[in-house]
Structure 1
Amino acid sequence: MKLFVEIAFVFLILTSNSSIAQEENISFETKKPIVRFLRIYGEKSETEPPIIVINDERTTSSSGLSSNKIVIEFDVFATVPPNLFARFVHCSYDWKEDENIFINEATANRTSNIFWESAPIHSKYYSFRGKITIPNEQVKFKYSGNWKVKLYDYSDPENVIAEGRFFVVNQIVSTEMRFYSDFYKPKRNVTASAYDIEVLVYERKSMKLIETHLHSVVLYRNNRWYEPFYISATSKPSGFYTNLSFSTSIFGFLSGGKVFRIDGIPAENGYRVLDLTNLAQFPAMNIPIRLPLSDYRRRGSYLEPDDDGAMITTFVTPNYDDYLYIEFTLDPEGWETTNDVFLVGSFNNWIPTREWQMYYDEKERLFKLRQWVRRARHNYMYATGNFDESGNIENLSFEEFEGNTVTSGHTFLAFVYYRNPGFGGYDEIVGFARANYFSAGR
């Protein structure tokens, strides 16, 4: 019976493609390498965050992370093995690149030490997979803070072909997180569950940090490194695409515990799960594969445990570690939305772009999207938003199709920023903590 179901499913894939209206828009002819996808994770596990831990005479405690190194992994389409190098750029707490030549040494912070693997022989979407593990013999990090990796082609060293974000942490202060249940004002008719989060920062007596220089705490949901929640004593940067504003406050002193608080962060929902690791259900082919069932609106519930936003490739063998051309369908159940609809998840680093915008098929009354997705177990959600005049997304929200529930259990990571006056001043990360509503003190 199981074999019959799997054969029937493959037949459905092959016969349903003629009804799909969206056209493939991926180029497979190029003279220059194209980076299809880049991700960064801890060296010991792809579920670990992209954090490098460093130590000096000021370090006071352990970060609690299983990895002290990170892996930068990127898939490249090229007709010949690519000749790439990577540069590493230190940034401020809000990801502005530092123009400090002492911190960002152009010659020191770079590497071409890339381990290359060929794609599976049947692969159409990418040709080679590169991996960089850092720190390594060529690159070591003296300064904590926000960092970007930028990839370049040696034949065109002025143009960035891909970039990603990671963090370097030096645990100088003690950091704790506390969660409190609260409510917010949703734009849609969903449960108003929200979190108030406090981050407590304690200084070791011997450190003598300058009180006013410990200026910000930035929160992220795990694996969603482009959605910061800022709690800052400096000029507050804007959040990521959101249509919500958050009340923040800072009080107390380092000697007795300085508190950074943010109120009303939506709890959201557990992530949807797409498992492409089953070869019988998702055979290796370069034609569109329509998922057997459409997704529906969720009203505060989810069916299976997620992976906290991570991509999991553990059970994918090298011969089938490829990309599949997937068609996603979302049934709005007769409701109309005035916003654009986007698909975000571990397959695109949780970044909504035009390439991941869905279109509405009036004949089938479904939102649809075709995209290349790496064979893995993925977490994802549907978002709504709009493009502004500059082509940037604004008013991003997950309420309409995902609902909201305090039981979502997302892990939050807190980074504590201190303005080091050395070398003309730069932001370093002196504290780190991670927790969720069910594990943190309340």
Structure 2
Amino acid sequence: MIKAGYILLLCFSVQIAVAQNQQFVYDNKVYQPNIKTVQCYNAQKEQSIPVITLKSNEQLIFSFDDLNGGSKNYWYTVEHCTSDWKSSRLSILDYLESLSEDRITDYKYSFGTLQKYTHYRLSLPNNQIKPKISGNYLLKVYEEGNQQKPVISQRFYVVEQIVNIGIDVVASTQVSLRFNHQKVNFTIFHKTPIQNPYTDLKAVVMQNGNPQTAILNTKPQFIKPGSLVYNELNSNDFPAGNEFRKFDIRSLRFKAENVQDIIRDTAVNVILFQDVNTNKAKYSNQIDENGSFFIRNQDGRDNGTESDYANVAFTLNAVPPTPDGDAYVVGRFNDYQLSEVSKLHFDSSRKRFYTNIKLKQGLYDYKYIWLNKETNKIDQTIFEGSFFETGNTYQVFAYYKKPGSRWEELIGYGDINTLKR
């Protein structure tokens, strides 16, 4: 009996040690279940792609909530990365002007909410942490100054606008895809010579800021004096998808858009109206925010600290499209991550998927996707449909590695909205 108890204690100690010695991954990720509502965007526009211009006055706003409450010593640093999100293996002296790490000191406690939490906030660059070269960066947040205790990792971009990028979205040149895909053509305009664009230059195209949609371009179709043209017939074709579904929980006293019921007890429970499979439906022209979410509160004054949390129940009236796979509900609110939290469970007796996610008061865009386990491919349209008319935003990032240089610079960034508002 003593031996069995010793083995259990040993296993428990090993689990704790593993939990405390995690490694950061080079992706947007939350490592602790008590951390919610991670936001990162350019301060000039809420929920914009986290891109700032090098040596400018632009800043990133980064924030999150700790549902355990109290105050903790959260530290942060940033690391320079390659265009495909791996470590650049540079010394901190190569890419930071000042300190290598700092503590997050701006925090406030929630007020008047059923769910108690502490709201942390950070602006970058600041006097302590300031990037001095362009490129991809990973923001790392960790406990007690120990990077073996990760809390959040967040991607962001620092651009030095050396080139300009012209972007055009057209119908697919492939006849079978013409009514459900959008093709992105773009041109990189440069004043300084690029010696070998085939080896030194890369361009990444994304739809709605979703890393899962990223397409890498390494070879321009045409090289002209002062410009590189990327318009190959069968490249940069994106499923257009459908407008995002959405719901409004700015108030937890009144039922707003797509909210069927609100139940207040020891916690707040929100039941959304049942969603249907729109794969075969016609395109519906409704205004969305291309996957973004906005923390808003009509029941109090301060969005950051007076917005409560609710357990939001999602239901999708559909059956599994393939024998082996999983359905997920995704959007900017969870960085499109396929995790246990975002996975839906299938009720075979009712022929529907469901899940419950704790979310902060606000406006949310979301959609349902399917991961086919046999092919390990994500289908963004199987529950939503795909229509050329859908409004999307597209982002193009241009990376350049100078001959003899040890890192890739982000020398250009451009975006376009297919709907002019």
TM-score range, shorter chain: 0.7 to 0.9
Residue equivalent to 1:416: 398
Give, in whole Å, the separation in 2 of the partners of 1:337 and 1:271: 23
Q: Does 1:208 align with 2:181?
A: no
Q: Does 1:434 align with 2:419?
A: no
Give, in whole Å, the separation in 1 of the partners of 2:98 and 2:397: 28
Give the partner amino acid of 2:274.
S
Give, in whole Å, the separation in 2 of the partners of 1:108 and 1:421: 29
User: Does structure 2 conserve the Cα–Cα contact (< 8 Å) formed by 1:347 and 1:374?
Assistant: no
| Residue pairs, 1:135-150, within 5 angstroms | 135-150=125-140
Q: Does 1:160 align with 2:150?
A: yes
User: Does structure 1 conserve the Cα–Cα contact (< 8 Å) formed by 2:328 and 2:344?
Assistant: yes
Deviations 1:129-180 (A, max 9, x none): 1111111111212111111101010164323221111111111012101222
Residue equivalent to 2:41: 41
| 3-state SS, counterpart of residue 409 of structure 1 | coil
User: Does structure 1 conserve the Cα–Cα contact (< 8 Å) formed by 2:368 and 2:383?
Assistant: yes
Give, in whole Å, the separation in 2 of the partners of 1:415 and 1:255: 21
Q: Does 1:221 align with 2:194?
A: no
Deviation, structure 1 residue 111: 2.6
2:357 corresponds, among 356, 359, 371, to: 371
CA, structure 1 residues 114+227, in 2 after alignment: closer, same or farther (shift >3 Å)? farther
Moved more, 365-374 or 106-115: 106-115
User: Does structure 2 conserve the Cα–Cα contact (< 8 Å) formed by 1:41 and 1:48?
Assistant: yes
Give, in whole Å, the separation in 1 of the partners of 2:296 and 2:273: 25
**Bigger RCO (CA 8 Å, 6+ sep):** 1
Deviation, structure 1 residue 346: 2.6
Deviation, structure 1 residue 402: 0.2
Give, in whole Å, the separation in 1 of the partners of 2:81 and 2:145: 26
Residue equivalent to 2:74: 84
2:238 corresponds, among 265, 273, 281, to: 265
CA, structure 1 residues 310+113, in 2 after alignment: closer, same or farther (shift >3 Å)? same
Give the partner amino acid of 2:65.
D
Give the partner amino acid of 1:428.
E
| 3-state SS, counterpart of residue 400 of structure 1 | coil
Residue equivalent to 2:3: none
User: Does structure 2 conserve the Cα–Cα contact (< 8 Å) formed by 1:90 and 1:97?
Assistant: yes
Give, in whole Å, the separation in 2 of the partners of 1:53 and 1:284: 45
Residue equivalent to 2:247: 274
Deviation, structure 1 residue 266: 0.9
Residue equivalent to 1:394: 376
Give, in whole Å, the separation in 1 of the partners of 2:159 and 2:59: 11
Give, in whole Å, the separation in 2 of the partners of 1:289 and 1:33: 19
Give the partner amino acid of 1:103.
D
Q: Does 1:193 align with 2:180?
A: yes
Unaligned runs of 5+ in 1: 1-29, 57-66, 234-249
User: Does structure 1 conserve the Cα–Cα contact (< 8 Å) formed by 2:272 and 2:312?
Assistant: no
Q: Does 1:253 align with 2:223?
A: yes
Give, in whole Å, the separation in 1 of the partners of 2:204 and 2:126: 28
CA, structure 1 residues 266+139, in 2 after alignment: closer, same or farther (shift >3 Å)? same
CA, structure 1 residues 88+300, in 2 after alignment: closer, same or farther (shift >3 Å)? farther
1:174 corresponds, among 152, 159, 164, to: 164
Give the partner amino acid of 2:229.
V
Moved more, 252-261 or 74-83: 252-261
User: Does structure 2 conserve the Cα–Cα contact (< 8 Å) formed by 1:382 and 1:402?
Assistant: yes
Give the partner amino acid of 1:434.
D
Give the partner amino acid of 1:253.
I
Give, in whole Å, the separation in 1 of the partners of 2:35 and 2:241: 31
Give the partner amino acid of 2:288.
D
Deviation, structure 1 residue 438: 4.4
Deviation, structure 1 residue 264: 2.2
User: Does structure 2 conserve the Cα–Cα contact (< 8 Å) formed by 1:51 and 1:167?
Assistant: yes
Residue equivalent to 2:332: 346
CA, structure 1 residues 47+335, in 2 after alignment: closer, same or farther (shift >3 Å)? closer
Deviation, structure 1 residue 115: 1.3
Deviation, structure 1 residue 364: 2.6
Using the aligned pairs only, state the percent identity: 19
2:370 corresponds, among 384, 387, 393, to: 384
Cα RMSD over matched residues? 3.0
Structure 1 length normalisation: TM-score?
A: 0.76
Give the partner amino acid of 1:277.
R
Give the partner amino acid of 1:278.
S
User: Does structure 2 conserve the Cα–Cα contact (< 8 Å) formed by 1:290 and 1:328?
Assistant: no
Give, in whole Å, the separation in 2 of the partners of 1:128 and 1:210: 51
Give the partner amino acid of 2:196.
E
Give, in whole Å, the separation in 1 of the partners of 2:282 and 2:265: 36
Deviation, structure 1 residue 224: 2.1
